[in-house]
């Protein structure tokens, strides 16, 4: 059973998500406690591959109040747990195509924190407007059907 901790609201607005995959994250004990309290933000995050390892950058986990000396830097780079084959495949996609790796959601799976990462292509302004128009039209249709 999966329970969502945090979502990236700008991911699907700014990118066309082609495919998604699941990754684990290396976290400290005080970071886990802070995540349990809901003190995490993945709005301006992205994934980068350095030296054959994947890292999530820009993820803010607030310091745990009772953590004192054990607290880590809130914006530090956190390593993603992926198979070497997956990392190499993603690295090849980033280099050959104009795509980015964007964290979409952070969630609990069993007792572990997992991150859903998407391979996204940046949207142009007219694509964003088109998506907003479609959502608006669907909302109007639903309202009309509700009133019947």
- What are the pLDDT tens digits along the chain (148 aa)? 678 898 888 888 888 888 888 999 988 888 888 888 888 888 889 898 989 899 999 888 888 777 677 777 777 888 999 999 989 988 888 888 888 889 999 999 988 899 999 888 887 887 788 888 988 999 999 999 888 7
Give the pLDDT of residue 125.
80
CB 106 within 8 A of CB 9: no
> CB-based contacts of 4: which residues, under 8 Å, 6+ apart?
105, 106, 107
Give the pLDDT of residue 138.
92
Which CATH code for domain 2-123? 2.40.280.10
First to last CA, the chain: 37
What 3-state DSSP class applies to 60? strand
Give the pLDDT of residue 105.
92
CB 59 within 8 A of CB 78: yes
Give the pLDDT of residue 1.
61
Give the pLDDT of residue 46.
86
């Amino acid at each position: 059973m999966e329970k969502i901790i945090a979502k990236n609201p700008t991911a699907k607005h700014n990118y066309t998500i082609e495919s998604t995959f699941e990754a684990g994250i290396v976290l400290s004990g005080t970071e886990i406690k802070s995540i349990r309290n809901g003190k995490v933000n993945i709005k301006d995050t992205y994934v980068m591959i350095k030296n054959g390892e994947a890292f999530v950058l820009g993820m803010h986990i607030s310091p745990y109040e009772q953590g004192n000396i054990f607290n880590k830097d809130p914006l530090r780079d956190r390593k993603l747990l992926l198979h070497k084959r997956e990392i190499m495949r993603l690295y090849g996609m980033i280099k050959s195509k104009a795509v980015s790796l964007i964290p979409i959601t952070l969630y609990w799976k069993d007792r572990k924190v997992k991150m859903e990462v998407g391979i996204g292509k940046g949207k142009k302004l007219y694509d964003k407007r088109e998506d907003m128009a479609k959502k608006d039209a669907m909302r109007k249709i639903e309202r009309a059907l509700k009133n019947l």
